[in-house]
Amino acid sequence: DIQMTQSPSSLSASVGDRVTITCQASQDISNYLNWYQQKPGKAPKLLIYDASNLETGVPSRFSGSGSGTDFTFTISSLQPEDIATYYCQQYDNLRLTFGGGTKVEIK
């Protein structure tokens, strides 16, 4: 199975900061990469699909980029409501796997 290495595992940033999370695949996955946000005690929410497409209704401060094995998720200006754990997820021939998650906190 394809392994997804997500980093950092946690970060602390100030409101208004630019936040970047990376996800590396163990082999080429083209753009088959999605990003989710999970707030404590809640189900995950789809933010970005196919590496760079913003899901309907998701604020434009969230963005994604990358292809092949290296992907980046960015929050352009961190807001208090963005406190959550973020996961990348790849899909390869019906073998879906998630990264380990990045917990984002406010400094």
In the complex, least distance from residue 17 CB atom to another protein, rounded to whole angstroms: 24
* Sites of contact with another protein (CB under 8 A): 1, 32, 34, 36, 38, 43-46, 49, 55, 87, 89, 91, 94-101
In the complex, least distance from residue 56 CB atom to another protein, rounded to whole angstroms: 9
Q: For residue 8, say if its preceding peptide bond is cis, omega within 30 degrees of 0.
A: yes
In the complex, least distance from residue 36 CB atom to another protein, rounded to whole angstroms: 8
Q: Which is nearer to another protein, 44 or 68 (CB)?
A: 44
Q: How wide is the angle at C-alpha 23 spanned by C-alphas 17 and 24, nearest 5°?
A: 145
How far CA 107 is from CA of 10, 12, 23, 82, 86, in Å, comes to 12, 5, 23, 13, 17
In the complex, least distance from residue 62 CB atom to another protein, rounded to whole angstroms: 15
Q: Which is nearer to another protein, 17 or 54 (CB)?
A: 54
8 Å CB contact between 80 and 106: yes
